[in-house]
Amino acid sequence: MRVLKTGLLVGLMAIGLSACGTTTGERALSGAGVGAAVGGAAAAVTGGDISRGAVIGAGAGAATGAATDEDDINLGD
């Protein structure tokens, strides 16, 4: 259950921050960075493998960033 909550948290945070950028590549790259950081941190907090958490988070963040449109999230523009 703890792994499910962590995965859900990582996914939600990646979705919220992955639309930073104007092109699909920029959003995928920023999503991967944010996802890796959040995934690694979540794994560290829960006692999991940090590198595995970072890889999973990076994949989820990159996929989410690539799937979003620059108009999906407006961060003050």
C-alpha 50/C-alpha 16 separation (Å) is: 22
Confidence at 25, pLDDT banded by 50, 70, 90: confident
Q: Is the pLDDT of residue 38 over 80?
A: yes
- The stretch 28-44 carries a mean pLDDT of 88
The pLDDT of residue 54:
92
C-alpha 24/C-alpha 31 separation (Å) is: 10
Phi/psi of residue 2, nearest 5 degrees: -65, -40
Rounded to two decimals, the pTM is 0.67
Radius of gyration of the chain (CA): 12
C-alpha 5/C-alpha 74 separation (Å) is: 27
